[in-house]
Amino acid sequence: MPETTNGQHTGELPGPRTRGAGGGVVPVLAFAGITVAVMQTLLVPVIKDLPTLLRTDPSDATWVMTATLLAGAVATPIMGRLGDLHGKRKMLLASLAVMVAGSLICGFTDDLVIMIVGRALQGFAMGAIPLGIGIMRDELPPERMGSAMALMSSSIGVGGGLALPAAALVAQHFDWHTLFFGAAGLGVLSMALTVLAVPETSLRAPGRFDLAGALGLSIGLVCLLLPVTKGSDWGWTSPTTLGLAAAALLILVLWGLFELRSPAPLVDLRTTVRREVLLTNLASIMVGVAFYAVSLVLPQLLQLPTATGYGLGQSMVVAGLCVAPLGLTMMLVAPLYARLSARRGPKVSLMAGMLVIAVGYGAGLGLMSSAWQTVVIAVLIGAGIGLAYSSLPALIIGAVDPSETGAANGLNALMRSIGTSVSSAVIGMVLANTSVRTGGVPVPSMEGFRISFLIAMGAVAGGLVLAAFLPSRREAVRPTLLASSEDEAPAPVPSASRPVAGSGGFRGRVLAEGGTPVARANVTLIDRHGRQAGLAVADGEGRYALSAPSAGTYVLAGSATGYAPRARSVTYPGDGLPVDTDLVLTAWGARGSGLPTPRDSALAPSSASASDPKPHDTAR
């Protein structure tokens, strides 16, 4: 680990680095994502048999799937925030450990209630995807980020594609509990590889964990997703469904108001409503809808008997093998995404992916008469989803502060989960309402399959419209050194440090021109060579603290949503005492709200010069 001069370990951020992450980091994190996908998919081949296996009613058996969905939706943003605060590798290991415990509980029971508890614990592993992406941002050099994030994002499809035929084979020839023991084994292996190959970075978000916000979000999500997933069983107009939907709306509105007032929110809603973040999250919902539609339709079409006139009469294993290219193609397009994104930006790759998905679903409207045609559909849609899923974390990472990577990607993963939940509910309702009776048993109709594909195409079209309004790729505006002395000793190659209040470096407040504190502003320290030497996020009162690697002249830059970025030249004498320096930001549209100029950058008053023997705190 690199260290600052005061002995504090420092985490690394994208930019010039003194080291690269070990070669095993990316495959190990991708394997963790595949493990999570296997956990999600392992019961798909036995869904129709669950009522018999658990000796319960079909409506109660669906809770085995619903519990995992609800737990994953709740855990994903919470684990992301905990990772930002306490370490992403630590939270990744915790997520996998809870999944292993849940798998073992499920493997030793036939009781419905205990099975639901175990499946809920398994759902906690869904936070591994955003945590893995956050670790990659902290550890990898920029040239490796594109392909690495693409592989991590597509791992959910890869794992699902591989798990379907494997789970079907196990379910046909072994006791179904073997599925859970296999998932537990994968979880233990993933934990061991993570301990051996994945480092823990010291980059931490400021503040504390927002317990009240976590509880509010959890209750709101449960009230939202329960009627979505169970509405077809309860009735869409039943008092339970409508009551939970109304409660979800009320709770989430109150939660949002609470988060806006919190000095250390679970989810920074001010960042979330930023155009690129908001549109990316909304597009994620649409991609989630499109992804799950094909997963629901193709396996049923393949396994329906030929007596229906359109069913393909394939076994469970063959059906899984025909759908497997959906996930495998997602993995294979990762290098293509990296090249396309490097040349055109993640917005273009997202739109390209959505266009490919639309082509796949359009072709599917006429290609449903043989097994090989379903493989073509799976390949096309998998390629499109691989491009789209790979683009989403890149768009999020480009729009948020490094200390918020875990929470922001956790929220984005939640949006995708909401999309899959909505897709499951809507397409399940369509297939049920358009079913036909064959041999006295209701089965999905070809009309229902085609309507489902049209719904997915509509979702993709909506996602394309949203993506079109995303900002085009532009070069980042980097603060430049406004004053420096060429004879100063060069600063060591820096890395972003965790703010340590009271240590040598800089501290102060970020203020608006009227003296109002600017909460959650980003403060960046740039050395005389233009390299990032430190990074901090101001608290609710605008206070920040940054360690300086060594004595010398730096640029201190501040930025926040709704304000023009400002930078000023500052000097640290290297005496171990903090230099008090305030930054004043100008709101966009106000006088002087353009890019910083030498005169503008001197507007922010310093409450203590670098030569003061004793600093005095101005952040009262």
- The answer to whether residue 253 is domain-embedded is no
d(CA 496, CA 498): 7
Q: How confident is the model at residue 496 (pLDDT cuts 50, 70, 90)?
A: very low
d(CA 84, CA 259): 17
Residue, of 236 and 246, whose pLDDT is higher: 246
d(CA 425, CA 241): 13
Q: Are residues 109 and 191 in the same domain?
A: yes
Q: Are residues 41 and 144 in the same domain?
A: yes
Q: Are residues 51 and 111 in the same domain?
A: yes
Q: Are residues 462 and 524 in the same domain?
A: no
Q: Are residues 199 and 318 in the same domain?
A: yes
Q: What is the mean pLDDT of residues 294-309?
A: 82
Nearest to 46 by CA among 62, 35, 32: 62
Nearest to 533 by CA among 491, 500, 570: 491
- What's the pLDDT at 277? 84
Sheet holding 522-526, edge to edge: 532-537, 522-526, 552-559, 566-572
Q: Please, what is the Cα angle at 91 between 87 and 93, to 5 degrees? A: 120
The overall average pLDDT reported for the chain is 77
Q: Are residues 535 and 450 in the same domain?
A: no
d(CA 443, CA 304): 8
Q: How confident is the model at residue 595 (pLDDT cuts 50, 70, 90)?
A: very low
Q: Are residues 460 and 519 in the same domain?
A: no
How confident is the model over 282-298, as pLDDT tens digits?
Answer: 998 898 888 878 877 88
How confident is the model over 127-167, as pLDDT tens digits?
Answer: 888 888 788 877 777 667 767 777 776 677 677 777 777 88
CB 606 within 8 A of CB 506: no
- The answer to whether residue 614 is domain-embedded is no
d(CA 318, CA 45): 12
- Tokens linked to 102: 């849940």
- The answer to whether residue 231 is domain-embedded is no
Q: Are residues 411 and 517 in the same domain?
A: no
Residue, of 446 and 160, whose pLDDT is higher: 446
Strand pairing category for 552-559 and 522-526: antiparallel
- Tokens linked to 397: 């990472």
How confident is the model over 551-564, as pLDDT tens digits?
Answer: 888 888 888 877 77
- CATH number reported for the structural domain that contains residue 512 in this entry: 2.60.40.1120
Last residue of a domain, one of 442, 468, 494: 468
Q: Are residues 464 and 513 in the same domain?
A: no
How confident is the model over 421-434, as pLDDT tens digits?
Answer: 788 778 878 887 88
CA-to-CA separations, 330 to 163, 167, 368, 383, in angstroms, rounded: 14, 20, 22, 5
- As for how many domains the chain has, the answer is 2
- Tokens linked to 373: 């045609």
- The answer to whether residue 52 is domain-embedded is yes
Of the ranges 294-298, 538-542, 615-619, which one carries the lowest mean pLDDT score?
A: 615-619
Q: What is the mean pLDDT of residues 47-74?
A: 80
- The answer to whether residue 396 is domain-embedded is yes
Q: Which domain holds residue 66?
A: 25-209+264-468
Q: What is the mean pLDDT of residues 581-588?
A: 82
How confident is the model over 162-214, as pLDDT tens digits?
Answer: 777 788 788 778 888 898 999 999 999 999 999 998 887 766 666 678 888 88
Q: Are residues 522 and 421 in the same domain?
A: no
Phi and psi based region of residue 520 (left: phi greater than 0; alpha: psi -120 to 50; beta: remaining) = left
Last residue of a domain, one of 468, 491, 524: 468
Stated pTM of the model = 0.64
Phi and psi based region of residue 553 (left: phi greater than 0; alpha: psi -120 to 50; beta: remaining) = beta
The DSSP secondary structure of 258-318, one letter per residue, reads: HHHH-SS-SS-HHHHTSHHHHHHHHHHHHHHHHHHHHHHHHHHHHHS-GGGSS-----HHH
CA-to-CA separations, 182 to 33, 38, 53, 170, 263, in angstroms, rounded: 15, 9, 18, 10, 43
d(CA 564, CA 592): 9
Q: How confident is the model at residue 403 (pLDDT cuts 50, 70, 90)?
A: low
- The answer to whether residue 499 is domain-embedded is no
Q: Are residues 166 and 281 in the same domain?
A: yes
Q: Are residues 442 and 584 in the same domain?
A: no
- CATH number reported for the structural domain that contains residue 345 in this entry: 1.20.1250.20
- Tokens linked to 563: 């304000």
d(CA 6, CA 549): 8
- What's the pLDDT at 588? 64
- The answer to whether residue 5 is domain-embedded is no
Q: Hey, what long-range contacts does 363-366 have (CB within 8 A, 24 or more apart)?
A: 364/294, 364/453, 365/450, 365/453, 365/454
Q: Alpha-carbon dihedral of residues 133, 134, 138, 140, nearest 10 degrees? A: 0
Q: How confident is the model at residue 309 (pLDDT cuts 50, 70, 90)?
A: confident
- The answer to whether residue 7 is domain-embedded is no
Nearest to 102 by CA among 84, 82, 85, 117: 117
